[in-house]
Every structure is written in C-alpha cells, then in structure tokens.
Homo-oligomer: A and B are copies of this chain.
Amino acid sequence: MTESDLPVAQLTPGRWGDPAHPAELPAAALDALKHLGIHRPPPPAAQPEARPGATGRQLQFLASVVGPQHVTTDWNARWSHTRGYSTTDLLRFRAADTTDVPDAVVYPATHDEVQAVLAGAAEHDLAVVPYSGGTSVVGGLAPNRSFVTVDLRRLDGLLELDEISRTATLQAGVRGPAAEALLAGRGYTLGHFPQSYEGASIGGYAAARSSGQSSAGYGRFDQMVVGVTVATPRGTIELGRAPMSAAGPDLRQLFLGSEGAFGIITSVVVRIRPRPTERHFEGWKFETFDAGLTAVRRLAQDGPLPTVLRLSDEVETAVNLADPDVLGGSAGGVLAIIGFDGPYNQATADVLTAAGGTNLGEGPGETWRVGRYRAPYLRDPLLDEGALVETLETAAFWSRIPALKTAVTEALVGALPTTPPLVLCHVSHVYETGASLYFTVVCAQTADPITQWRTAKSAASEAIAAAGGTISHHHGVGTDHQAAYVQEIGPLATESLQTVKQTLDPDHVLNPGILLP
C-alpha cells in the first residue's frame, strides 16, 4: 500500500486518527507503564454541555453566502471542530471543556464564497477560524473570542495540472491522501507525508509550514509551493508568477506560515514529481547518537541524500524497538531510517558505512514505513492508562544541535520532578546547515496533567530559546508558541507583522489571538 492508497481519515473529536484503526498498547508497554509508576486515572467527566450557537442575523448572512444547507449550529458538528490534537487539547476534550467551541460551522465551496464570508464578517460581528484538517497541535484553532469555523473541506479539487511545468493547483481542503490520489491518477506525487498525513490538508500544510517524513528528498511544504491564492477581508491576493523572482520580497513566504491570521489560503500551486515506481526503506545502526549525527550531517552536506532520513537517539531506539535483535542482537546503539523513492542509491549507503553505520536491512525500514502514521494513535490509550505523553520539536544549525538536545532534555526532566519522564528524541529533518530535533516525553500524569504539561513545555521552550533553536520546525505557532515566537523574532518584526494583519484584516476577524498577540 502506498500513500495514495490510504483513505482520508475521519478524525474523531478528542482522539487522534481514524477510529476504524484504533491503537492498542502492547502488553509490554502496559508493563513498562507500571514500572514508571503510571496508573489509570479516574474516568473522564460527563458529556460536554451544549452551548448556544450563532445568532439568527449571523446565520442568515452565512447562509446567504454558502446556502443554508452549508451552515450548521449542530452541537456535534461544533464540538468536532473544537481545538486540535495537542495532548492538552485531548485532555480538555476528556474534561468536557467547551471553551473554544465555534458558534457555527460554515462550509464554503469556492474561493469567492470564502472571500464573501470574510468580506461580511466584521459587519456581522463574526470572527472566523479557517479549518483545514483540524490537526493543529499548537492551539491553532482556539482564538481569543467567540467565532465561527470556516471548514474548507468542499474546496477539494485539483484545479490544474501543468505537466510541462510540473505544477499542480490544489485547493486548500484537499486532504493528504486525496491529494496523492488525485495526482497518482496522472502519474505524479506531491511527496508530502507528515505524521498528520491521514487527516491534514493542503491549506494547513501551507498555512503552518508543514514538513513531511520524506523532506530529505522532496523538501518541506513551503519549498514545494510556487503560487498561493489568499482570501482576505479586503480582497484577494494572488502570488507566484515564477519559481523564483527578484521582484521584491518573496511574499509567498509571508503567507506561508501566517496560520490564517492574514487571510485564508484557498489554493496553492505546488511542484509535483513523477510517482516513483519503486521504494526502499532500510534501518541502520550507529554506536551512539553522536556518531549517527555526524553521519546524517555528512549526507545532508555532501550527499547523496535519500528521500527519508531519520535518526533516533539511544532512549527512543530502546523504547521503540522492543526486540533487541533488530539492532543486531547487541545492546545499545541507535537506529537510523533511510528511504528512497526510486532506485536504491548505493552511494548513500557508502557514506553511512564510512561513517561507522551498520546496515540492518529492510526489516526495520519496513517496520517504520508501516507504522509511520501510527505513533500519535498511541497517545490516546497512553492517556487512558494515566501516562502523560506529548511531543515537541525545534530546529537549529548543526553546531548547536548537541547542546540544544541536552538543554531541552534537562529542562523537561527538571520541570517534571515528581513524575520523572522518559525523553525520547530523533532528528526528523535535515538541511545543509542544520536539522530539526523531535522530542517525545512520557511520564505519569499528576492530578492536573494540563498544568503539569504546560509547566514542562514552558521550561522546554525557554531552553530552546537559550540554546539558539527556533520554537517550531514544523508544528507552527498557534497560541501555544505565541510568547516564544514573539521573543524569537523580536518586537520590531512582530510589530511589522501586526501592521500587515492590520492592513489585510482591519477588524481582526481572522483567527484573533493566533500567531500574533
């Protein structure tokens, strides 16, 4: 099965992923939780209590734009559009926390309908939150005032495929698997496979600068985008007449990562590539994370890069590989995964061998491939069992990576003194000048796991800033990272972005409180 065969998952509110494929914890994991002192907490609270939705005049306006059958105040629809999928979001679902519930959900079908909703929003006292896949893990769907959700799922078309230029114009609501299926029918692939692939959408990829597991070969989503169409309350902006230009700043890069605060991205023109006819995934072992880091840096800087390149540290390797035989039967060591879309490249393997790597063959590679979207599914049963589990990520230049990894790990351990955590880490994306680090934290929940995590996350964020990393490599800013983001770019850059927002969204109807204070 390849990515284009995967169905679009219908995410369940409050639990990650396709409910047809729930994750169960293996017995060994349940045992391990007991050793960590993790015990099942009391069952979740009662069902959420429905809150009143949008008013008649607001609904009349929305219905006049999209048709009455495409506006709803149905409680289940609203509850399923509430917040995203961070661990604190999941915990708040369990606690039946109905703050952040939209007053209505509206389903426009075209760019012009999106545009019309935005143009009339202020007059009808509406704030709007664009909703693409709904997979934000940084509070990107929780504005600071009441709002209606603009769900883009009906903008689900492949508008144009230019085989000469190798570009596709995809609408914002196309989910990952649907995009691959649309392109596969013509022999092409986008090559963008983030962990949220089953649920996330083109518009969200663009608005939050997503990066996929094949980024070593295909690049990040923002590197694939060559054109963007944005609806703003004041009108439409269309950008991108060429792959690159010297006509002023690259304004595409101002809207990529703007997280709906400047406008709603309704379609993008993306670079596509021929669909590979073969794929290879392989595991490699290195004695230490540092040795593996040198090896993946060598590939990132001197090539040849594979399509997928990941490197787990000692803890993640030990936790994820229940069977030590996978690592050649010896204790210790770290696991790297490499993958090729297309023919196997021996030159890549030669670099890894020269850097001290041992080829473990396709077994670990296939294991990773098959489970590549499954990790977040485990969060829900882990939370059920009383574990606190969450991820965070950053990126920095290569010379800062070792100290950054140590600093974040120590900050997390230090901030969770009564519930000593396991901190797992891997290099998830590489560049010539640096890399990203992806951390997974597991510990016992306290009686107030939301505060528990926020305290830990705050410590990690401070450590990231102090060690010279960015507050997010591919999750985005949302509300969770806003303070760290403002600190990272500084007051003048922040003010510049605020003036752009003021220009395009003078009545602050777009995602108020998200990205920018």
Partner of A474 from the list B238, B246, B302, B400 (CB cut-off 8 Å) is: B246
Q: Binary interface profile of A, 220-246, with partner B (CB < 8 Å = 1, else 0)? A: 101100100000101111110111111
| Nearest CB of chain B from residue A438's CB, rounded to whole Å | 12
Taking a contact as CB atoms under 8 Å apart, the answer to whether A239 and B165 are in contact is: no
Partner of A247 from the list B253, B297, B471 (CB cut-off 8 Å) is: B471
A492–B436 CA distance with the chains assembled, in angstroms:
35
A273 — which chain B residues lie within 8 A by C-beta?
Answer: 301, 432
Taking a contact as CB atoms under 8 Å apart, the answer to whether A504 and B497 are in contact is: no
A12–B354 CA distance with the chains assembled, in angstroms:
52
Q: Binary interface profile of A, 283-311, with partner B (CB < 8 Å = 1, else 0)? A: 00000000000000100011000000000
Partner of A433 from the list B226, B234, B485 (CB cut-off 8 Å) is: B226
A259 lies within 8 A of chain B by Cβ: yes
Taking a contact as CB atoms under 8 Å apart, the answer to whether A488 and B395 are in contact is: no
Taking a contact as CB atoms under 8 Å apart, the answer to whether A493 and B239 are in contact is: yes
Give chain A interface residues in 235-291, CB to chain B under 8 Å: 235-239, 241-251, 253-259, 271, 273-274
| Nearest CB of chain B from residue A42's CB, rounded to whole Å | 36
Among A165, A237, A396, find the residue whose CB has the most chain B CB atoms closer than 10 A. Answer: A165
Partner of A243 from the list B162, B242, B433 (CB cut-off 8 Å) is: B433
Give chain A interface residues in 331-359, CB to chain B under 8 Å: none
A489 lies within 8 A of chain B by Cβ: yes
Taking a contact as CB atoms under 8 Å apart, the answer to whether A249 and B258 are in contact is: yes
Assuming A246-B474, A500-B496, A503-B495, is B235 touching A469 (CB within 8 A)?
no
Partner of A397 from the list B165, B234, B247, B476 (CB cut-off 8 Å) is: B165
* Interface residue tally on A, bucketed by range: 35 or more
A320 lies within 8 A of chain B by Cβ: no
Give chain A interface residues in 130-187, CB to chain B under 8 Å: 162, 164-167
Taking a contact as CB atoms under 8 Å apart, the answer to whether A499 and B502 are in contact is: yes
| Nearest CB of chain B from residue A202's CB, rounded to whole Å | 16
A475 lies within 8 A of chain B by Cβ: yes
Among A167, A244, A400, find the residue whose CB has the most chain B CB atoms closer than 10 A. Answer: A244
A254–B130 CA distance with the chains assembled, in angstroms:
24
Taking a contact as CB atoms under 8 Å apart, the answer to whether A246 and B472 are in contact is: yes
Q: Would you list 27 pairs from A and B whose C-beta atoms are within 8 A, ordered by A residue?
A: A162-B398, A162-B399, A164-B297, A166-B432, A167-B397, A167-B433, A208-B246, A209-B244, A223-B244, A242-B395, A242-B434, A242-B436, A242-B473, A243-B395, A243-B433, A244-B395, A245-B472, A246-B473, A246-B474, A247-B488, A250-B253, A250-B257, A251-B493, A251-B496, A251-B497, A254-B254, A273-B432
Interface residues in chain A, defined as those with a beta carbon under 8 Å from any beta carbon in chain B: 162, 164-167, 208-211, 220, 222-223, 226, 232, 234-239, 241-251, 253-259, 271, 273-274, 297, 301-302, 394-400, 429, 431-436, 468-477, 481, 485, 488-490, 492-493, 495-497, 499-500, 502-504, 515
